[in-house]
Structures are given as C-alpha cells and as structure tokens.
Amino acid sequence: MKLRICHLYPRELNIYADRGNIAVFRRRSAWRGIDCEVSEAGLGDSIDPDAHDLFYLGGGQDRDQALVAPDLVATKGDALHRAAGSGAVVLAVCGGYQLAGHCYTASDGSTLAGIGLLDVDTVAGADRLIGDLALEVELDGESRRVVGYENHAGRTRLGPGARPLGRVIAGAGNDGESGFEGARRDRVVGTYLHGPLLPKNPWLADRLISWALRRRTGRDPELEPLLDDLEAKARQVAVGRAGRRSG
Ligand code: GLN
C-alpha cells in the first residue's frame, strides 16, 4: 500500500506552516507501515492526474496567490478536474481554497480566476477574520469537532454544487455570517483552517488518507488506531481559545 501525494506550489503556498499537513500524512502513514511518496509540482510543472491520489494546496497571501493563480489554471486545472472526477482527494487551505473555487476578488478590486473545482466564490471584505476556530464536521456518517486557526480577508460564498465542510461552533468561518466553514464536493475539501490543520485533527487526517488509499485499491483500508494523546491536548487548547473568542 502506498499513499501518493502531490504537493502543489510548496514554495509559494506555505503560510502558517501549512507544509506541516504533509508531515502529518507522512508520519501517520509511516507509523502504520504505509509507504508515503510526496512529489512536488511548482510553477510551470504539469501534473499527471493518475500518478497521485491526494493533491494538496496550501495557503498564501494575495501576492502569492497572484503568482500561482494563472499557472494553476493553465498547467494544472484540467488535470485536477480529471483527478477529482476519478476519486482523488484534494485538500485546499485558505488561499488554496479560494483558488480551488471560481475566483478570488482581492481588496484592491483585482480578480484572480480559480479552477472551479469547488462551487465557491470569494471576495475580500474590509477587515480580516482572525483567530481560533472550532467546527462540527460530518464525514462518512461520523461527526467530529475540528479545530484550527483562521486569518483571511476573503468572504467565501458557496454555490449549489458545494456543501460546507462544517458548521462553525466558535469563530468566523467562510464569511462570518453563514455559520459555515469550508466547502466540499466528493473528496475535494476546502477550508480556512491553518495551524497547520492536520496535527490537531488526526481524525480528519486519517479520513483523507483512507479516501486516497481507497481510490488506489478500490476498498476501504483498515487504518490501525494510533495513540493521539498529544494531538488531543493540542485540540483542547484550541477549543478553549476558540470558545473564549466567541464569548
Ligand atoms: N488572500 C487570502 C485572504 O486574506 C488568503 C489568506 C491566507 O491564505 N491566509 O483572504
């Protein structure tokens, strides 16, 4: 069994240590004896939709997004649509989430076209939504609390083709109004959660790993449970901070 990951724009999109999500995929696979192969695709690189089962797009500031957006559309958009259409996992965080949608309009009024993998649109608001965030997320019939940190100007609205990743318990989420955070379509997941996202949310990391392995093998892998004591403590701290933010 091998987990094949493609890390998109690792140099340009790595705000708030988003690269740490890749470290989690590597570690949680290695602890279970699963090989994990991470390829990187940067500016100008084309990607093979069948060579990887999980594609990862981290977050970045507006200027990083402006650098990668035209390249994403020109050299990787079609392949990502093909990959997602055949069950590949795509995880897109913050700036990456915005570019996985139809477009992002920055506060200076300029608009960056995204790849429309998620039916969402983002427009920057007058202020930034910053702080710890807690959500209730349901995946594969299981419901869990997911925590992280948000810092974005963008307000993201979901179209009919996307459903939210979760319901906000504390924090702002997609737009500070709808009560929703992130977006999903099949195994494509967009979220504003940094921190990075996965070290504090091992349940979510394991769901994504399972989905990716399932695409390759055609069946649900048995993922051995891991002792997640440290992760649980980190979650508690984040839940406490998010709770104080809303109170
Ligand atoms: N440019 C985006 C915003 O501020 C993304 C920020 C980020 O990735 N942290 O809305």
CATH value at residue 172: 3.40.50.880
Query: For residue 93, which atom of ligand 1 is closest to its CA?
Result: 8
Ligand 1: which residue has its CA nearest to atom 5? 95
pLDDT of residue 117: 98
> Is residue 107 in contact with ligand 1, taking CB distance under 6 Å?
no
pLDDT of residue 1: 87
Out of 6, 36, 52, 94, the active site residue is: 94
Query: For residue 128, which atom of ligand 1 is closest to its CA?
Result: 4
pLDDT of residue 243: 85
pLDDT of residue 231: 92
Residue 88 CA, ligand 1 centroid: distance in Å: 25
Residue 17 CA, ligand 1 centroid: distance in Å: 14
Question: Does 102 qualify as catalytic in the annotation?
Answer: no
pLDDT of residue 244: 87
**Looking at the 3D structure of the chain, how many domains does it have?**
1
**Full DSSP string of the chain:** -EEEEEEESTTTS-GGGTTHHHHHHHHHHHTTT-EEEEEEE-TT----TTT-SEEEE----HHHHHHHHHHIIIIIHHHHHHHHHTT-EEEEETHHHHHHSSEEE-TTS-EEE---SSSEEEEEEEEEEEEEEEEEEEETTEEEEEEEEEEEEEEEEE-TT-B-SEEEEES-TTTSSSSEE-EEETTEEEE--BS-TTTT-HHHHHHHHHHHHHHHHSS---PPP---HHHHHHHHHHHHHHHHHH-
Q: Identify the domain containing residue 190 by its residue range.
A: 2-246
Question: Does 36 qualify as catalytic in the annotation?
Answer: no
Grouped pLDDT means (10 residues each) for the chain, 247 residues: 96 89 97 97 98 97 96 98 98 98 96 98 97 96 96 98 97 97 98 94 98 95 95 91 77
pLDDT of residue 246: 60
pLDDT of residue 22: 97
